[in-house]
Amino acid sequence: MSLEYYFDAESSDRKSFIVPGAKPHYNPDRPGQVEHIFLDLILEIPKESFSGTCTITINPIRDGLTNLTLDAVNLHIHTVQVDEITQNFDYDGEYLEIYLSQPTTIGKAIKVAINYGVEKPQRGLYFILPSEHYPHKPTQVWTQGEDEDSRYWFPCFDYPGQLTTSEIRVQVSQPLTVVSNGELISTEALASGESIFHWSQKQVHPTYLMTLAVGDFAEIQDEWRGRPVNYYVEKDRVADGKRSMGKTPKMMEFLSQKFGYDYPFPKYAQVCVDDFIFGGMENTSTTLLTDRCLIDERAAIDNRSTESLVVHELCHQWFGDLVVIKHWAHAWVKEGMASYSEVFWTDFEYGKDDAAYYLLNEARSYLAEDSSRYRRPIVTHIYREAIELYDRHIYEKGACVYHMIRTELGDDLFWKAINIFLRDHAHQTVETIDLIRAIEKASGRNLMFLFDQYVFRGGHPDYKVAYSWDNDSKLAKITVTQTQGKPDKTVTENELFDLKIPLGFGYSSEESKTFTVRIHEKEQSFYFPLEKKPDFISFDQGNNYLKTVNLDYALPELKAQLRHDPDPISRIYAAQALAKKGGLEAVKALAEALKEDKFWAVRFEVAQELGKVKLDQSGSALIAGLQDPEARVRRSVVDALGKVKDRPSLQAVEQLLATGDPSYYVEAAAARVLGSLVSATLKDQEVQVIQLLNQVLQERSGWNEVVRAGAIAGLAQLKTSVAALDSIVQYIPLGVPQPLRLAAIRALGAISKGQTPPEVERILALLADLAKETFFLTQLSVVAALGQMETPKAIAVLQSLATQTPDGRVRRVAEEAIAQVQGHIGADKAVKQIREELEEMKKENQQLKSRLENLEAKSKD
Ligand SMILES: [Zn+2]
């Protein structure tokens, strides 16, 4: 699964992952082995309903079982039969308890047939239809099972420990097409104008990977080694579909070779669906993707996320679908590898520098979550809902863990271990220990130390590295301190990491010298005899270990590193350290790198650093950087100019936005940044900037509304302006294209901060109203907006959202947003406010009671 959307916490204090209501979760006891699931369904799309029969063949594990309990939420259960004999059952809306008239016998499989129906399902299966406000929305039906939502569309033993073959037969009206797992074994057109599609999946898989996608799709046919590879998109998106998914066969070949295991299913389909609640979902042989990933020609200039999404879901066909996790606690085994596939695909397709930078950004996603949300072990079975586990720890930190395993083993042994892991567990379930054992089997290496430090406990090392040179004795001294984010050396023994880290002494004109040292104490100093003074020092040469570094080197070493270190990540660290030092000389070195560095990502990062140094020279270096040939660098330069906040920056960004840029993202950044430039010191330009942003809103509708959403974000920075608020509010009503509307909803939070109390009330009323909409992405946007507000009244709206939403993710982020608002207004004030509200309610309660008593007294008279 791939998340497209995640919560940006603003608060800097780390909270506990374990929230009230969290408890240990175990797989249930097994009554037997499920051998086959057959769904035979008739969809009535206009009514948002379906009905039919779910037949489960189960081979009992014990004699004498007299009942079976299935997961089944909010279904209408009509009848239950076992081997065609009607059975008694109880159903409470959550579990279906079947009382077997004939107790089970080992080895004698039984066929349980449940006839049922569903209307307007809340989860699991989603109906997409044109509506009054969105008359051009396509008609589609799609499912999302992971993690425990298949039970909302068919009765089943809904946990990943049960693998079974499956078969889905679905009747829909023409001209709709049905795509599902495995092979299409028949289609039938009925005289009534209906069609029946019959799909069969012959390799075992868990219920959460069973899927159904229905729509009036264009089928784009491709192939890999003679096997069908199809892309399904709405009929007006064929060119975008080819552009976005066209590398799939190449990726299938690449992964088949890397893993030493051929793509395991008879076909591969990717279906792009509307309003999808994730980025993508790796249903067995049939991945569903959000249609937001479809890129047009202009987006293709600098959009790489679609390609990453495609390889991520494809990688799951091995990691997740061929080898299935036994319990959600081990979801990192598949999500970490799928996220890591984005890295090694980038290496293959774009080179090792791009891959190193991709990995750095994965690490950063995790580091941000670790510092602002919570720290947890990657593997844990203590949670409230399994969906809470789908965070930056299992994805990005998981990818970093795979990379460290590869670093420890070397390429050959790593891929051998992965191959053994896949071969030994194909079509079976696994836990983390199985990976550790496969590594040992392939290489003889016991990597428990790595798993213990990075997987089974939370955190990572934060290193401070100091260097000095003694010219008389020709000794380099390196002092490494493990700070773990605590500047005052309060790190405890059990927070320390014990790793062997390579140190490189680099020279601009010759090979570097490398020494590997064991770093395991709070502070260690190492002395290295060298023939001559090194130009720069590469700590963790290759940057393979997940960590943070703070380089305490002198200016000349940092400048030399930025210029000469062959590792782009080390150059980025040098740029960060230089910016921290500040001063004209640092700016000159950064300005040179922005112009000269041959790798775009270094220029991207250098621009960010220049934005942090408050000197006129950084502004002029950045303005020159607007000419960079790489769109991603220009985007970064524009962002950085937003921090410089002087008149030339404003003029340069304004000019860029007015004339336009080949990239949507650069234009969006320019629009976003204009707001923050004006709000700081250039108030006299406010009217003009609002006018320009409004013009962008009127004229630059386009791909995924990226540019217009940037303009909305720009307006949101004009916190005291009612005119800016009025502009944003125009894009809130239903009927506004969804991505633009979501941006406008989120913007209400930022702009609320400088508004007068009546305007804040207006914003609150809008958000309270929007909170009633049930669409997942709307709810997330409402939460994001409320979380930025500075009034206790936002808490009340969040509270009701948290208690009413059926979605665990929304509940979790709403609760976190409450803590955020409390942080903004101070907990004391919040307590006081809630007390007052409680008092108010008590009074009302009292009044109601006395009214009731009066009435009762009267009625007795
Ligand atoms: Zn995934």
Q: How far is the CA of 331 from the centre of ligand 1 (A)?
A: 9
Q: How far is the CA of 546 from the centre of ligand 1 (A)?
A: 21
Q: How far is the CA of 608 from the centre of ligand 1 (A)?
A: 30
Query: What pairs with residue 675 in β-bridges?
Result: none
DSSP 3-state of 464:
strand
DSSP 3-state of 21:
coil
* Joined tokens for residue 758: 């009546």
Q: How far is the CA of 782 from the centre of ligand 1 (A)?
A: 25
Q: 266: which residues sit within 8 A by CB, 6+ positions away?
A: 182, 183, 202, 227, 285
Q: 506: which residues sit within 8 A by CB, 6+ positions away?
A: 512, 534, 535, 536, 537, 538, 560, 561, 564, 565
pLDDT digits (tens, 9 = 90+) for 386-415: 999 999 999 999 999 999 999 999 999 999
Q: How far is the CA of 623 from the centre of ligand 1 (A)?
A: 39
**Are 259 and 419 spatial neighbours (Cβ–Cβ below 8 Å)?**
yes
Q: How far is the CA of 742 from the centre of ligand 1 (A)?
A: 24
Q: How far is the CA of 343 from the centre of ligand 1 (A)?
A: 14
* Joined tokens for residue 412: 């050959």
**Are 809 and 125 spatial neighbours (Cβ–Cβ below 8 Å)?**
no
* Joined tokens for residue 297: 């020609």
Residue 680 is predicted with a pLDDT of 63
Q: How far is CA 524 from CA 474, 482, 503, 521, 551, in A?
A: 20, 9, 14, 6, 15
Q: How far is the CA of 341 from the centre of ligand 1 (A)?
A: 10
Q: Which is nearest to 293 in space by CA: 345, 241, 343, 217?
A: 241
* Joined tokens for residue 476: 């380099």
DSSP 3-state of 142:
strand
Q: How far is the CA of 6 from the centre of ligand 1 (A)?
A: 14
Tell me how crowded residue 493 is: count the other CB atoms within 10 A of its CB: 7
Given the structure tokens 């009267």, which residue do they identify? Answer: 858
Residue 8 is predicted with a pLDDT of 54
Q: How far is the CA of 586 from the centre of ligand 1 (A)?
A: 41
- CA atoms within 13 Å, Cβ hemisphere of 394: 21
Q: How far is the CA of 775 from the centre of ligand 1 (A)?
A: 22
Distance between CA atoms of residues 195 and 649, nearest Å: 61
pLDDT digits (tens, 9 = 90+) for 326-344: 999 999 999 999 999 999 9
Specify burial of residue 516 (Cβ count, 10 A radius: 0-12, 13-18, 19+): exposed
Bond preceding residue 147 cis, omega within 30 of 0: yes
Q: How far is the CA of 371 from the centre of ligand 1 (A)?
A: 23
Q: How far is the CA of 458 from the centre of ligand 1 (A)?
A: 21
Q: How far is the CA of 313 from the centre of ligand 1 (A)?
A: 6
Tell me how crowded residue 519 is: count the other CB atoms within 10 A of its CB: 24
Q: How far is the CA of 390 from the centre of ligand 1 (A)?
A: 9
Q: How far is the CA of 725 from the centre of ligand 1 (A)?
A: 38
Q: How far is the CA of 1 from the centre of ligand 1 (A)?
A: 3
Q: How far is the CA of 752 from the centre of ligand 1 (A)?
A: 36
Residue 828 is predicted with a pLDDT of 67
Q: How far is the CA of 319 from the centre of ligand 1 (A)?
A: 9
Tell me how crowded residue 643 is: count the other CB atoms within 10 A of its CB: 20
pLDDT digits (tens, 9 = 90+) for 18-53: 888 899 999 999 999 999 999 999 999 999 999 999
Residue 827 is predicted with a pLDDT of 67
Q: How far is the CA of 465 from the centre of ligand 1 (A)?
A: 36
Q: How far is the CA of 211 from the centre of ligand 1 (A)?
A: 16
Residue 844 is predicted with a pLDDT of 80
Q: How far is the CA of 395 from the centre of ligand 1 (A)?
A: 8
* Joined tokens for residue 665: 């993202």
Q: How far is the CA of 617 from the centre of ligand 1 (A)?
A: 44
Q: How far is the CA of 317 from the centre of ligand 1 (A)?
A: 10
Q: How far is the CA of 841 from the centre of ligand 1 (A)?
A: 46
Q: Annotate 438-465 with b (16+ C-beta within 10 A) or e (fewer).
A: bbeebbebebeebbebbbeebbbbbbbb
Q: How far is the CA of 818 from the centre of ligand 1 (A)?
A: 29
Q: How far is the CA of 810 from the centre of ligand 1 (A)?
A: 19
Q: How far is the CA of 523 from the centre of ligand 1 (A)?
A: 39
Q: How far is the CA of 748 from the centre of ligand 1 (A)?
A: 31
Q: How far is the CA of 389 from the centre of ligand 1 (A)?
A: 12
Distance between CA atoms of residues 437 and 509, nearest Å: 44
Sign of the C-alpha dihedral computed for residues 732, 736, 738 and 739 taken in this order: negative
Distance between CA atoms of residues 298 and 312, nearest Å: 23
Distance between CA atoms of residues 342 and 350, nearest Å: 11
Q: How far is the CA of 777 from the centre of ligand 1 (A)?
A: 19
Distance between CA atoms of residues 527 and 818, nearest Å: 51
Which residues in the chain come in under a pLDDT of 70? Answer: 5-13, 680, 827-828, 830, 860-861
- CA atoms within 13 Å, Cβ hemisphere of 597: 34
Residue 832 is predicted with a pLDDT of 75
Q: How far is the CA of 315 from the centre of ligand 1 (A)?
A: 9
Q: How far is the CA of 127 from the centre of ligand 1 (A)?
A: 23
CA 448, distance to chain mean position in Å, is 28
Segment holding 794, helix H or strand E: helix 793-804
Q: How far is the CA of 419 from the centre of ligand 1 (A)?
A: 20
Render 766-780 in DSSP notation, one character per residue.
HHHHHTT---HHHHH
Q: How far is the CA of 3 from the centre of ligand 1 (A)?
A: 8
* Dihedral angle of Cα 578, 579, 581, 586, to the nearest 10 degrees: 60
Query: What pairs with residue 383 in β-bridges?
Result: 23
Q: How far is the CA of 307 from the centre of ligand 1 (A)?
A: 14
Q: How far is the CA of 281 from the centre of ligand 1 (A)?
A: 7
Q: How far is the CA of 836 from the centre of ligand 1 (A)?
A: 46
Q: How far is the CA of 203 from the centre of ligand 1 (A)?
A: 20
* Joined tokens for residue 411: 């390429």
Phi/psi of residue 257, each to 5°? Answer: -75, -45
Q: How far is the CA of 349 from the centre of ligand 1 (A)?
A: 20
